[in-house]
Every structure is written in structure tokens, then in C-alpha cells.
Amino acid sequence: MTHTIQSLIVSFFHNYLRDQSDCSANTIQSYCECIRMLIQFCCGRDQVNADELDMESIDDNTILAFLDSLEKERGNLPQTRNQRLAAIKSFYRYLALQEPTLMDACQRICTIRAKKTEHKVIEALTEAEVEAILRAVSSETAWHQRDYALLLLMYNTGARVQELADLRIEDVKADDCPQVKLMGKGRKERVNPLWKKTAAAINQWLKAREQAGITSEHLFVNSHRQQLSRFGIAHIVSKYVTLAATTCPSLAKKNVTPHTFRHTTALHMIQSHVDITVIKDWLGHADIRTTSLYVEINVEMKRKALEKCPPPGVEKDEQPLWHQSPVMALLNSIANRSYVE
């Protein structure tokens, strides 16, 4: 081969993912972990060192065996398996361009189908639940003010957790025309307006951190005065959901994460009849089909609400016609009619 395995890997991660595709650090880290595990798997199978591994020996059967091992030995879910497969396909498409001898292997690997997964139900919060979480935050200390500003900003913008962690003070305008600049996937920037209430909460936090002598350029910092991480934000959310559950019992039944706030923002905007293209840009979705999922969820919620209020003459426990099989729906409709042939 013209290129060594080391040069191909370095070129893929630095030249392609970072410089050409401008992928985020999280995406690069995820791809790196996948390729690392694949190489370890192949080295164990062939009993060779990574430097001696022949990339041409890795075919579609090898990839299938590797994916199966992720599920059986590491306990990965089908969704994770599919993410790993997508990373491998991207890696091999790049390799095939660099090394024509890998073109055949690449074509076979790219024909591997993703595993079918169950449709994941997107869970969101009600307005009452959001209010309960915000009310659970006191204003005793600067850190409480940070938490309140963070939670309110999260609901206001529907930002991804990493977008919030990466926010810098310069990205926020909390003046007469408040707005925030968010850096989304693929290094795509978007600007979202803020409620005056959100701007006021941020200003209060900025004053508190200035009085405490915090000089970090990042908007949200931890107790060590360093950038607040995704895990730190998740901990804050969990903390106040637990507190709010004492006054809002429905929260105890939900697994609330920072991403739940993103789903909540999207669903509440749909319910407020905001145009779907506006919501797409608001959330930073690349494909409007992703945003359309919230329309489907909203329709399903309306159907469930309708089921609780059946039309006159229909028992409450009778299954709606749209949930019955065509045959049973026909039989039930005939049975409920009085007519003579």
C-alpha cells in the first residue's frame, strides 16, 4: 500500500473530519473511539500489532463480526451499533479514495444494513413541570443564580447541552434586544432571541460572578471557576428535577435530561403554532424531517386526549376506529348499526 495505516488514520481524522468536514470535537472523539475498537478487534483476531495490520484483510464479514461483538460482549444497544457502523462506512469511503485497492472492500462494507431499532418515544415536559423546576431554584447564592439562568436559557433556546457548555460571554447580548449566538453541529452558527426574563437572569448571574472575581470567558463555570461541562449541566438538571418532584409528582416518573428541555422547547413551539421552518432554524436542525417528528408527537398527544373524550354513544374503554384493524373496525361498525338487508 502506498500509505501506511498510521498515515491513513491521521489523514482521516485531521484532514478530512477536522479540516474538510469541520466536525465537532465530540464527533471526532466518537469516530476515534469506534476506529480504535475496530483495530483492536482485528489485531486480536489476526494476532498482530496495529502497525502490522493489513487493511485489505478487513472485509464486510469482519465488520459484521465486530458489530456483533459490540452487542454481545460490550452490551451496546442497536442504536449504538448503528452509530458505529456509520462511522466505519465514513472511514472506509475516505480510505477508498486514498487507496483504490480498498474500493471493493469499501463497497461491500457500505452495503451492510443498519439494524432495525424500536421507535424511541420523545419525552417532553409540560409547562407546569418546567415552572416547578424553575421554582425549585432559590436565589440565595451566586451559584443558584447561575443555575436559574442556565435552566431558563435552556428552555428559552432549546440549545444542545454542548452548545450551552461552549457559550462565551461575548455570545450573549442581554440588552434591549437580547439574543444569543449558538454554535451548532458542523460549526454552524445560529442566533436566537431571548425573553427579557432570560436576559435579566443572565445579567444577574454576570453581576454575581463579577463580584465573586470569576474571569472565565465561558458564560457558565463550575465551582472551580472552569468551563461547566456537559456532565455538570446534566447534574444541575437532575438536582432541580428531584427537588421539583416534591411539589410536582409527575416529574418523579420522568427521566429528565438536558436534551429533554430541547424536546420540550420544540414541542411547546409546535403547540403554539410556530411555523415548522422557524423551529427548524431555531433548533439548528440540518433536515426538516427531524423537526417534523415533533409535529407527529403533537398529533399523537391530541389523539390520546381525544380518546379520553369519546363521542356520544361510545363507551370510554372502546378502542377508537383508527387503532383497530380494518376487519375489526368493519365488524364493530356493522354491529353498532341497526339495519335490514
What is the residue extent of each domain of the chain? 5-110, 127-304
The yes-or-no answer on residue 160 being catalytic is yes
Contact 274, 254 (CB under 8 A): no
Q: How far apart are CA 220 and CA 241, in angstroms?
A: 19
- 285 is known as an active-site residue: yes
Look up 240 and say whether it is catalytic: no
pLDDT at position 208: 95
HSE, side-chain direction, 13 A CA sphere, residue 176? 0
Residue 47 pLDDT > 60: yes
- Long-range pairs, 274-283, Cβ under 8 A, ≥24: 281/190, 282/157, 282/158, 282/190, 282/192, 283/158
Instruction: Report helix, strand or coil for 168.
Output: strand
Q: Is 155 a catalytic residue?
A: no
Residue 249 has pLDDT above 60, yes or no: yes
Q: At 173, is the pLDDT very low, low, confident or very high (cuts 50, 70, 90)?
A: very high
- Residue 339: predicted pLDDT: 38
Q: Which of 262, 263, 268, 280 is catalytic?
A: 262
Residue of 263, 268, 280, 285 marked active site: 285
* CATH node for 127-304: 1.10.443.10
Provide mean pLDDT across the span 260-272: 91
Which grid coordinates belong to 310?
A: 369519546
Determine whether 294 is an active site residue: yes
On whether the pTM is more than 0.85, the answer is: no
Query: Of these residues, 81, 84, 146, 160, which one is catalytic?
Result: 160
**What is residue 2's predicted lDDT score, i.e. its pLDDT?**
47
